[in-house]
């Protein structure tokens, strides 16, 4: 039988045992199904989480999870998690989905601060500083899960390897932070970026926004309804540390409701 790319995986132990068994025994065995589902381009999306469950999204079935990626040594720090195509992992320009969290400082949220489109481009230009990147136009992106979002497509040529990568980068405004969702070389695995982006959602964690405590008596900020506090002291402290501007911006974005 010819060996082809993307061939289904089989149970090696079963094959070894079958080869060692008598002919009559082998013929009498019922045909077994492959224990693994082949990883193919255009694989269906499945539920996944990142940052200890703080965010949920859907990614292609069979891709390496953030924990598996870290085990390989591909670690970009505590604020970045990525899913990597297992099928194309060893090849050049493999497909990846990056999720990056970045705190949104009060000066960004306050009136007159840089808007999301500018923050998106500033981040990407910094990331591609060592490469030759050609950016398309930045556009507002419609998402029901977040207040505002922006997207841009671009191509980047590595100055050392000379390899060209294509990327779709999305910035969404989550409570008190920007979240970057980036798909690299998605066309190689036929990934539907719109479906991945539509699945991204923030999962509020039952912890105090100021001290990180997980009390059973947490109260929600009555104005923005995006953060929780375990005491009035923590709420007052967080307000002074920057939640004041973020809170007012969130309320204004909802039309003052």
Instruction: Determine contact, residues 190/179, Cβ cutoff 8 Å.
Output: no
Q: Which of 116 and 206 is assigned the larger pLDDT?
A: 116
Q: Can you give the pLDDT at residue 90?
A: 56
User: Cα angle at 74 between 103 and 207, to 5 degrees?
Assistant: 35
Q: Can you give the pLDDT at residue 119?
A: 92
Which residues share a beta bridge with 64?
84
3 state DSSP class of 136: coil
Instruction: Determine contact, residues 128/148, Cβ cutoff 8 Å.
Output: no
Cα 167 to Cα 172: distance, rounded to the nearest angstrom: 16
DSSP strands (E only) in 80-186:
80-84, 96-103, 131-135, 139-140, 149-158, 164-174, 177-184
User: Mind listing the pLDDT tens digit for each residue in 17-55?
Assistant: 333 444 444 444 444 444 454 556 678 999 999 987 889
Q: What's the number of CA atoms in the CB half-sphere (13 Å) around residue 39? A: 16
Cα 224 to Cα 251: distance, rounded to the nearest angstrom: 6
In degrees and rounded to multiples of 5, residue 42 shows phi and psi of 75, 25
Find, among 116, 115, 152, the residue nearest to 135 by Cα: 152
Q: Which residue has the tokens 């077994």?
A: 32
Q: How many residues does the chain have?
A: 257
Q: Is the pTM of this model over 0.85?
A: no
User: Mind listing the pLDDT tens digit for each residue in 198-238?
Assistant: 999 988 777 788 887 777 688 888 888 778 888 999 999 98
**CB-based contacts of 211, cutoff 8 Å, min separation 6:** 230, 234
């Amino acid at each position: 039988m010819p060996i082809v790319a993307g061939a289904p995986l089989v149970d090696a132990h079963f094959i070894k045992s079958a080869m060692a068994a008598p002919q009559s025994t082998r013929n009498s065995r019922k045909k077994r199904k492959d224990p693994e589902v082949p990883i193919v381009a255009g694989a269906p999306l499945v539920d996944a989480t990142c940052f200890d469950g703080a965010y949920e999204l859907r990614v292609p079935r069979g891709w390496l999870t953030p924990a598996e990626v870290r085990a390989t040594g591909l670690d970009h720090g505590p604020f970045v998690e990525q899913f990597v195509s297992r099928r194309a992992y060893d090849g050049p320009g493999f497909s990846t989905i990056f999720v990056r969290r970045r705190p949104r400082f009060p000066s960004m949220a306050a009136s007159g601060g840089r808007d999301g489109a500018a923050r998106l481009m500033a981040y990407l230009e910094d990331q591609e500083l060592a490469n030759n990147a050609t950016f398309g136009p930045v556009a507002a992106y419609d998402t029901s899960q977040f207040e505002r979002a922006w997207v841009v497509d671009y191509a980047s040529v590595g100055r050392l390897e000379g390899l060209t990568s294509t990327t779709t980068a999305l910035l969404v405004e989550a409570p008190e932070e920007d979240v970057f969702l980036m798909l690299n070389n998605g066309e190689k695995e036929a990934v539907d970026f719109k479906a991945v982006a539509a699945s991204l959602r923030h999962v509020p964690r039952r912890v105090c926004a100021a001290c990180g405590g997980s009390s059973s008596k947490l109260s929600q900020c009555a104005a923005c309804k995006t953060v929780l506090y375990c005491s009035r002291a923590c709420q007052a402290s967080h307000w002074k540390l920057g939640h004041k501007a973020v809170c007012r911006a969130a309320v204004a974005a909802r039309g003052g409701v």
